[in-house]
Amino acid sequence: MTKEDLFRSMSAIDEDILLRSEGAVGGHAAAEELQEQKRSGNGRTVVRKMIPWGSFVAVAAVMCAGIILGFVLNAVLLHRGNNRKEPVVTPSQAAGLTGTPTPTPTETPTPTEGKKPTQQPDPKSGYCGAKGDELQWQMDENGVLTISGKGAMKDYASELLGDSSPWYGRLAVKKVIIEEGVTRLGSWAFYQCTDLTEMVLPESLKEIGEGALFRCSGLREVSIPKGVTRIEGMAFAQCGGLNGIILPEGLTVLGESAFYACTGITEITVPKQITVLEEDVFGECTALRKVILPNGIYSIKQRAFENCGSLTEISLPKSLMEIGWAAFSNCAALREVVLPDNVKTLFEFAFSGCKALEKVTIPVRLTGIGINAFSGCESLREVCYEGTKENRNAVWMGEGNEELINAVWKYGVK
């Protein structure tokens, strides 16, 4: 249906509606006027046919459909217009159209592919004082690290905890010179400096911090100044190349694992100010053959000499009161042990695995022998006991001590 046909239909409908309304309002007047028009002649006879109601509904439906279709077509055309892409005019084309030259933008040069960015060189100097700039450090081209100033070094941490020393993992330290005025080596200050072979310490030094020289496996010898009073835990632990050490007489603190796994040390004399040998203090020192302990030590803690496989003799002081768990475990070369009179407790595994142990002297004051205290002592043949057989029966003895029980006991013998 064209627009013209639609308009004609709408006009005919309007006329019909008008006639119907006139008939409803004007009554017979309108009817008579219609008849008059039929009789008048006037060149032509006007005849209006009344449109039935069903036809009216059909025409109205067609008209509505046309209107809806028009809306749909308009929407489609509008959508196509919005999606139409405008031509993109480049600066050069615009210049060609207007006749005005367009300047060429300056291009940033692309870095050469595969070229690494320039890295800042590692610093060769700085501050390392506990309070700030009271101590300075400087490294030369030969790997010699010099620390100067007055006061204590800063305490650092291992790489697992962060805040490691400024030279850790960056500079190959071969020699360390600590100048006079420095009073303390900071904790973990030279941790894992495996290239370090020599260290010079000043007489002003008083303390060696925790882990200060931990795992300096290339270090061969260190002369600890006489004024040092504290060697903290793990200070020299796993310094496998260290073959000689002399502890100063004024030493009062010897921390846990201070010389743990120093596999090159062969002999050690503990200063008289030390009263406790802490856990693992000389554990895993596999080359250690002789230990001299002063009278004044009252406790040897767990694993203090564990796995010291070369230890052949040790003189336990009269002041000793307890021997801890596995304190001498696996000292496979140890042949004889004399327990002092004041020892009351022998903890579990104290001498287990001492395969060469042949003779043990036990005091009458001993009230308990822990589980497996002498297990694996396959060479044990003789036990000298100060008390009587009745006294022996009163001693509590844990399981796993068959080697001790089956040995020959001699009573009343010191």
Long-range contacts of 362-370 (CB under 8 A, 24+ apart): 362/386, 363/339, 364/391, 365/341, 366/339, 366/395, 367/394, 367/395, 367/396, 368/344, 368/395, 368/396, 368/397, 368/398, 369/395, 369/396, 369/397, 369/398, 369/401, 369/404, 370/325, 370/345, 370/346, 370/398
Range 197-209 average pLDDT: 97
Q: What is the pLDDT of residues 290-348, one digit of tens each?
A: 999 999 999 999 999 999 999 998 999 999 999 999 999 999 999 999 999 999 989 99
- 8 Å CB contact between 337 and 323: no
pLDDT of 199 above 90 = yes
Q: What is the pLDDT of residues 20-35, one digit of tens each?
A: 444 443 444 444 443 4
pLDDT at 41: 43
Q: What is the pLDDT of residues 280-298, one digit of tens each?
A: 999 999 999 999 999 999 9
Domains in the chain (CATH in brackets) are: 3-82 (no CATH), 122-227 (no CATH), 268-280+287-414 (3.80.10.10)
Q: Label residue 170 by pLDDT band (50, 70, 90).
A: confident
- 8 Å CB contact between 305 and 282: yes
Sequence-distant (6+) residues with CB within 8 A of 330 are 306, 307, 308, 309, 352, 353, 354
pLDDT at 111: 45
pLDDT at 108: 45
The residue with greater pLDDT, 216 or 105, is 216
pLDDT at 392: 94
Q: What is the Cα–Cα distance from 58 to 12, expressed in whole angstroms?
A: 14
pLDDT at 158: 73
Q: State whether the Cα torsion 164-170-171-173 is positive or negative.
A: positive
| Percent of the chain at pLDDT exceeding 90 | 64
Average pLDDT of the chain to the nearest whole number: 81
Q: What is the pLDDT of residues 54-79, one digit of tens each?
A: 555 555 665 666 666 665 555 544 55
Q: Label residue 413 by pLDDT band (50, 70, 90).
A: confident
pLDDT of 213 above 80 = yes
Sequence-distant (6+) residues with CB within 8 A of 254 are 231, 247, 270, 274, 277, 278, 281
pTM value surpassing 0.85: no
Range 88-113 average pLDDT: 45
Q: What is the Cα–Cα distance from 328 to 334, expressed in whole angstroms?
A: 9
Please name which of 212, 214, 209 lies closest in space to residue 230, comparing C-alpha atoms. 209
